[in-house]
Amino acid sequence: MDLKFLKGGSEIIDREEVLKKVKNWVREVGELQLEKLNDNIKVRTKSNKNDLVTEVDELSEKILMDYINQEYPDHSILSEESGIEERDSKYKWIIDPLDGTTNYAHGFSLFAISVALKHKDDTIVGVVYLPSLKKLYYALKGEGAFVGQKRLQVSTTKHLDESLLITDLSYYRDKDPDENINYFNEIIKEVRGVRKTGSAALDLCCIAEGSLDCFWELELKPWDIAAGSLIIEEAGGRVITFSKEAKLIIIAANKILSTTLMQKIKK
């Protein structure tokens, strides 16, 4: 299959052209987010007090969706704040306009914009942009993953006790305090150190570039991981998802560590 040009319905997509457009879109949205960071923005809660959305999330989403609808009006879109816009297309965009909303609402400058394009069941384009760091991670399926011009490669760490792990706690920990904490308390004994950024998209990119060794978290959504998962896979890593006790668990690392971590968590 020619991955450069993919046909969906009557439309043929040039992935490199798509990538070029998405890079421009996320940089524009990133500038807006930086301009409004630390402004007196409106913040409200969604599912509970820990699950926040700001007016900047919604404005960023609108800009991205407007661009997609203008350039690719037949494509479906799944976005964090607006949900699904289903259309009769083999293409679907999956976007998180501001990943790390709690950080952003508190004026903490670690946050990301995540945009992915799927063709049927395959993610074919993935872009994650960190506005405050001016770092742009991207991947095309079958062509590797990059930050800027640098090719990414996951770490070669083979043992958990030599690894640096990244994870996060659920929005719902107040109602279900054992949801992630019990896992956390056990796994922390097995690793060299643990980090938390508050942005899953950023976490996955850190795995892809090898600065962190392994990632796991419960109950993330497609918009959290779509772009970052492709970037990891194109950097030689593996992303595993499975259910345990009705909770979706996501693991990402190199192929050796991902297997070890999966076995530990399932146990």
* 38 pLDDT higher than 50: yes
Paired residues of 85 in beta bridges: 77
pLDDT of residue 1: 39
The predicted-structure confidence for 200-211, as pLDDT tens digits, reads as follows: 999 999 999 999
DSSP 249: E
- C-alpha to C-alpha distance for 258 and 264, rounded to whole angstroms: 10
Reported confidence tier of residue 218, pLDDT bands at 50, 70, 90? confident
pTM: 0.91
The predicted-structure confidence for 68-94, as pLDDT tens digits, reads as follows: 999 999 999 999 889 999 999 999 999
Q: Which two tokens stand for residue 68?
A: 């997609």
The share of the chain scoring above pLDDT 70, in percent, equals 88
DSSP 10: T
3-class DSSP state for residue 257?
helix
In this structure, what are the phi and psi dihedrals at residue 193, rounded to the nearest 5 degrees? -165, 165
Q: How far is CA 77 from CA 18, 62, 69, in A?
A: 15, 12, 9
- C-alpha to C-alpha distance for 163 and 94, rounded to whole angstroms: 30
